[in-house]
Copies of this chain bind each other. A is one copy, B any other.
Amino acid sequence: MEVIGIDRLLDFDHFLCEEIKAHKVMSVEDEKRQRIIIAAMQEFIKGYRNASTDTIVKSAGISKGLLFHYFGTKKELFFFLFQYAIEIIGGEYKAAHFESRDFIDNIWQLSLLARRLINKHPLVYGLLASAFFSFQEVFPGELHNFQNPVEELKQKLLERADRSLIRDDLDPEKALRIILWTVDGYSAELTRLGRQVADYEPHYDRIEKELGDYLTLLRNALYK
C-alpha cells in the first residue's frame, strides 16, 4: 500500500460525496487545489484556534482573497476539510470487508487496516483526529453533523459480533467492550509513544505482533 503524504490527494476524490464534490474549490485545477487543501490541513492540525489563514495562504502560495473566495469563512474551510477527511478515511474503511462475525478477528483486521491507513494518509488521518478535538472546543454542539468513520465501523462490528463465542459465564456485552477498550488503550499508548518517537515505523512489526498477543490473550480468557 502506497503512502499518500502530501501529494496524490486527488487520487481519492472518488470517495467524496456529492456535497463536497460540488464545492467551489473542487473545480480548481488539480495541482493548486491539492496545495490549498494540504496547506490548510497541515495548519489545522495545530487546532482551529492555532491555525492562521495567513499561514495557509502563504504555504499554499495563493492570495488571501482567493482562500475566502473559495471558502467564505475560516469556519467553512475547516468544516470542508473535516468532511473531506471523513470521506476519504471513511471511504477507505467502507472499501474493506469484514466478513467474519468473530469480534476479535474483526477488531484485529480493523487495527491492521487503521495502521495501514495512517501510513497511507498521514495528513488526512492526522487532521481527522485533531479536528474532533477542535470541534469540541470551538464548535460544541455542531459535532453531531460529523460521523467518525472509525467509531462508526467499530459500532457496526460490535453489533454484528457473534455473542455465542463468549464464555457462558461472562456477560458477552461487557466482554466485547473489554476487547474494544483493549485495542483502544493499546492504540492510545502507541499514539503517546508516536508523539515522542518521531518515527516509529521500524517498530511496526513488533507493535503488530504485540497487539496480536493481546488479542490472543483475550481470546483465551474470554472465548469459549
Contact = CB atoms under 8 A, between A and B. Distances in A.
B185 A177 contact: yes
A72 B171 CA distance: 55
A162 interface: no
16 contacts: A49-B49, A50-B137, A133-B137, A136-B195, A170-B220, A171-B217, A174-B214, A175-B217, A178-B214, A178-B218, A180-B185, A181-B184, A181-B186, A185-B185, A221-B221, A221-B222
Interface string A171-197: 100110110111011101000000110
Nearest to A179: B178
Copies assembled: 4
A138 B221 contact: no
Contacts of A46: 137
A31 interface: no
A145 to B, nearest CB: 13
A62 to B, nearest CB: 18
Size category of the binding interface on chain A = 20 to 34
Given A181-B184, A182-B182, A186-B181, A217 B49 contact: no
A217 B178 contact: yes
A100 B31 CA distance: 62
Q: Interface majority SS on A: helix, strand, loop or mixed?
A: helix
A33 interface: no
A149 interface: no
A158 to B, nearest CB: 12
Interface string A160-176: 00000001011100110
A159 interface: no
A195 B144 CA distance: 11
Interface in A208-224: 213-214, 217-218, 220-222
A90 interface: no
A184 B180 CA distance: 12
Contacts of A196: 144
